[in-house]
Chain A
């Protein structure tokens, strides 16, 4: 199978960002750079936790939230980048 698939990652946080959301965002970006070397393409989007559309889609959540491929995988805690790398590899398999 080719690894051409693009993984969609969303980070839902508070705007203006709180320190924990910021840390999550950085770790996710690092993870994306890491997996890029392995041929996995991932795009990251920042979403605002207070936006109505976000809440309609993901419900009331506790920030920070990481959504991978449309599924909420992490809620209310700061994941380290290794954890995100693992998640991305799993999806891209």
Chain B
């Protein structure tokens, strides 16, 4: 390809990025809602088969900006983050290990299939079990897609608190587990002989237009993997909103017991596909308290599929241990946030 053609392609692709950003800013100025706007009352009198259609049409007519933005940004961030620099320091000492685990999780974990391998990478390359666990627990809450969609679909206040709470829980779990006998024995077992990688890294840098294109392709790949589940989630939410009696949610998903119940059902329902965010929105509309909503969102670190993958690398004691800590954390933060925000 000639230089001029490349330049042209770069300009066209950048124009698209600009358009996506502009669309989001425009929606802000015009005060569109990018979240589902139908309320339970709107569903009265709709035919059974028409409920999900009405909900999906309503959501996508304004929500597409939010989704487009989220996937484009996730693709760009993932493509342009200097992965070689980040991973190089992951095997450093303990403090940089914790710091990096927490700071890089948002950018490296948009693709769910990188999470467990990086956990193994951090553990085996000498940073120890603490940072590895911290990385694993922060990842689902802090990945850039989850942050953007929590902010847009639920609220930015909740997105912020979700991150802070997850950081605290991840750090506590990492530190506690690294002090337990089973944590220590795993660390001894994986004591690194080489402190950093032996192989040299000389990454090929493709031209900008190709990198931009690769970023969009990755965004599209993420969308293809996530959107089908996301849409199924929306269908489920439409039925929940249409048929689940509000008293039921109001009775069971509020107060202290609401936090407890939400934290328990949030876990098994978690799929790394952001469904928990739309489902949370549906239950919130029906009267779930904010405290319970936070506990619901934070329940994911102990989802079963992930735990199984992790238990192949470390012992099940460790898995059980971090599940208990993650659960206790979600209940604690749910209660505290519920009291502070006056919505328990």
Contacts and interface: CB of A to CB of B under 8 A. Distances in A.
Interface in B142-197: 190, 192-194, 196-197
A47 to B, nearest CB: 11
A14 B111 CA distance: 12
Contact of A57 (B87, B117, B198, B204): B198
B252 to A, nearest CB: 38
Contacts of A72: 84, 199-203
Contacts of B84: 72, 75
B203 A73 contact: yes
A61 interface: yes
28 contacts: A18-B111, A18-B113, A20-B221, A21-B113, A49-B117, A50-B313, A52-B124, A55-B125, A56-B124, A56-B125, A56-B194, A56-B198, A57-B197, A58-B198, A59-B125, A60-B90, A60-B91, A62-B83, A62-B118, A71-B199, A71-B201, A72-B199, A72-B200, A75-B83, A75-B84, A75-B203, A78-B214, A87-B204
Nearest to B135: A60
A15 B259 CA distance: 37
Interface string A50-93: 10100111111111000100111111111100010001000000
B123 to A, nearest CB: 9
Given A50-B116, A50-B313, A56-B125, A74 B204 contact: yes
B202 A19 contact: no
Contacts of B79: 77
B133 to A, nearest CB: 15
Given A57-B199, A75-B201, 5 more contacts: A20-B221, A21-B113, A50-B117, A55-B121, A60-B91
A74 B79 CA distance: 12
Interface in B294-329: 313
B108 A62 contact: yes
Contact of A59 (B91, B193, B202, B218): B91
A71 B84 CA distance: 12
A62 B203 CA distance: 13
A74 B39 CA distance: 48
A45 to B, nearest CB: 14
Contacts of B194: 56
Best-surrounded residue of A55, A58, A63, A70 (most CB of chain B within 10 A): A55
Interface of B: 78-79, 83-84, 87-88, 90-91, 108, 111, 113-114, 116-118, 120-122, 124-125, 190, 192-194, 196-204, 206, 214, 217-218, 221, 225, 313
B44 to A, nearest CB: 43
B193 A56 contact: yes
Contacts of A57: 197-199
Contacts of B114: 14, 62-63, 76
Contacts of B225: 19
Closest 9 CB pairs of A and B: A60-B121, A59-B197, A18-B113, A55-B124, A72-B201, A60-B90, A49-B117, A76-B83, A50-B120
B91 A52 contact: no
Given A52-B190, A72-B84, A83-B206, A58 B199 contact: yes
Contacts of A50: 116-117, 120, 313
Nearest to A48: B117
Contacts of A18: 111, 113
Contacts of A71: 199-202
A85 to B, nearest CB: 12
B125 A60 contact: yes
Contacts of A60: 87, 90-91, 118, 121-122, 124-125
Contacts of B199: 57-59, 67, 70-72
Contact of A73 (B83, B90, B202): B202
A59 B90 contact: yes
